[in-house]
Structure 1
Amino acid sequence: MDKKSPLKARNFPSAQDEAATVRLPSRYAGPGSSYGMAYADTEFLLREELRPVRMQLELMKPELIQQDQGVESTIVIFGSARFKAREEAEAMLASAQDAGHPDAIRHAERMVANVRYYEEARRFAELVTRDADALGEPVIITTGGGPGIMEAGNRGAYDAGGRSMGMSIHLPFEEDPNPYITPELCFQFHYFAIRKMHFLMRAVALVSFPGGFGTMDELFEVLTLAQTRKIRRRPIVLFGRAFWDRVVNFEALADEGVISHADLGLIHYAESAEEAWDIIKRTYRDDDPELTARQNRAA
């Protein structure tokens, strides 16, 4: 903290100062004692009745830290936690072949085939990070902080020498956050709802790679909020059209009348890192003549 002149010094000690210096009297230092600062009492904060307070804290902590770190605009990458880097997928296949287990071999073959998504996510994040000012203001990559496509996104930004953010969720089988996240921007959440809100609060675009229930949950929340105009519309890019056409028939939803055909315009498709980034840049260029001029000058 910056030193202040005597005129501007604090009139009251900070909560941090008091929490660090408080000394529990020996008579009241044992288990079951209620003595102590409420904000430093973990057992009290974890009471069922304090859920609203915990939710507020979980909303505020990432918000305040992002403000401190100067994070204003992000591009969010969704996708499967199960996809592997090439060396890991190929090692998995070799192990399955050595063991001679047909099911394991088929699964490992799919992992090898899906390596391209990991590689494209990594390239996309690297491309965005190297070209971070292309939209007229700095953007940083944000992921769910875990393995798979999330790791690839953070890894690409790391490869480019830039910052990236990870928003991990506490799970019973959780792994540590992937090692490529900027430490100051590595968060852990308890509430899925608060985490998903933070994904969107600064997002200027979202790119969803193939994934399972978690990816679908995140994607459909974004689509619903955009469809109902609860958030401003922004580019939503689905990577790998063959996958998406196979697992979600958006056209059928429109044909059945449960969404409008206009809602299909919320979605863009890409097959390469360059195409995904071009879609995002083109969307903002078309909406902003000044950005068009800046991008043309840069080209």
Structure 2
Amino acid sequence: MTNKDIEERKFRPAKQEVKDAAKDLQTPQTTSAAYRLAFQDTDFLLREDLRPVRFQLELLKPELLMNEAKIESTFVFYGSARIPEPEKAQERLAAAMTDEERGVAQRLADKSKYYVEARRLANIAARYPAGEDGKRNFVVCSGGGPSIMEAANRGAADVDAPSIGMNIVLPHEQAPNIYVTPELSFQFHYFALRKMHFLLRARALAVFPGGFGTFDEFFELLTLIQTGKMKPIPILLFGKDFWTKVINFEALAEEGVISHRDLDLITWVETAEEAWSAVCAFYKDDTMMACG
């Protein structure tokens, strides 16, 4: 007996079975939905009973593809889908017709600096060198959409580095921004699985001004670390003026619903350099400074 005899695959691969199953046999039996291969039967896979299977598929697909891409860890970016880059912010401001529109446009223009900082921070993180085994760390990861997410993927693209986009199917039109690496552009049905993938490989996380989605993801991360379900990682919060206007963090501690030490989970920053320095300090890795 040879090694070939032992190692050779004995069962026909599923791809071959699919090809053979596609034979054009038009009979009542072969045209029935019951006859379709289960994993090719979309109507079957979308049944309520199959939700656990869809959960598993949505967990496995990005996991396997990121493993194949040798992505060891990620640098995750959260933030608004509505903050434009500075040039577009000025265009919107110029096009505003009413006092209300001008007020909103001006406040978004004031926050457009965070598009620039997100792009710069992603650029720094994306230059972190791969290991001798080819594995990559601090790979830029965003929600794959516009604004702050676009800035993050764009920062990685500026240095020809791969970056991840994790889009979600929404009732209104949404498409991945053009800077996401196509082979790492994922689409999710389940928010829960998407949020899990954001954090499974996360070794640092930057949070920029944002709305409900940003609040949801940011506070879930704080809760996971606060409760010990997840080990601490650097949580870099950009925009102290914004955040302290919309959330009174100190009041939460004063009211006793969190402890004052829970506030230490947050690192306040305003620039990409401050953020990267905080990550270097957290991991006590002076060699990381060279990437900045």
Give the TM-score normalised by structure 2: 0.91
Matched, 1:118 2:112: no
Partner residue in 2 for 1:109 = 106
Partner residue in 2 for 1:55 = 55
Partner residue in 2 for 1:217 = 216
Shift, 1:20, TM fit: 3.0
What is the CA deviation profile of residues 29-57 of structure 1, one whole-angstrom value per residue up to 9, with x for unaligned ones? 88753111001111100011100100110
Aligned equivalents of 1:272, 1:186: Cα separation in 2: 27
Shift, 1:10, TM fit: 2.1
| Equivalenced residues, count | 286
Matched, 1:91 2:91: yes
Secondary structure at 1:75 match in 2: strand
Aligned equivalents of 1:132, 1:7: Cα separation in 2: 40
Percent pairwise identity: 49
Structure 1: segments with no counterpart, 5+ residues: 286-290
Aligned equivalents of 2:252, 2:89: Cα separation in 1: 35
Deviates more, 1:76-85 or 1:241-250: 241-250
Which amino acid in 1 is paired with 2:207?
A: S
Shift, 1:138, TM fit: 2.7
What is the CA deviation profile of residues 174-214 of structure 1, one whole-angstrom value per residue up to 9, with x for unaligned ones? 32100101111110000001100100100001110000000
Deviates more, 1:107-116 or 1:144-153: 107-116
Aligned equivalents of 1:295, 1:110: Cα separation in 2: 35
Aligned equivalents of 1:30, 1:213: Cα separation in 2: 49
Secondary structure at 1:166 match in 2: strand
Structure 1 stretches of 4+ moved >6 Å? 296-299
Aligned equivalents of 2:206, 2:290: Cα separation in 1: 27
Give the TM-score normalised by structure 1: 0.89
Aligned pairs for 1:1-299 within 5 A: 8-22=7-21, 23-28=23-28, 33-96=33-96, 100-132=97-129, 138-285=137-284, 291-292=285-286, 294=287
Shift, 1:127, TM fit: 1.4
Instruction: Classify 1:166/1:296 alpha carbon distance in 2 versus 1 (closer, same or farther; 3 Å).
Output: closer
C-alpha root-mean-square deviation of aligned residues, in Å? 2.3
Aligned equivalents of 1:83, 1:223: Cα separation in 2: 24
Deviates more, 1:193-202 or 1:80-89: 80-89
Deviates more, 1:32-41 or 1:205-214: 32-41
What is the CA deviation profile of residues 150-197 of structure 1, one whole-angstrom value per residue up to 9, with x for unaligned ones? 000000000121111011111011321001011111100000011001
Secondary structure at 2:27 match in 1: helix
Aligned equivalents of 1:40, 1:166: Cα separation in 2: 26
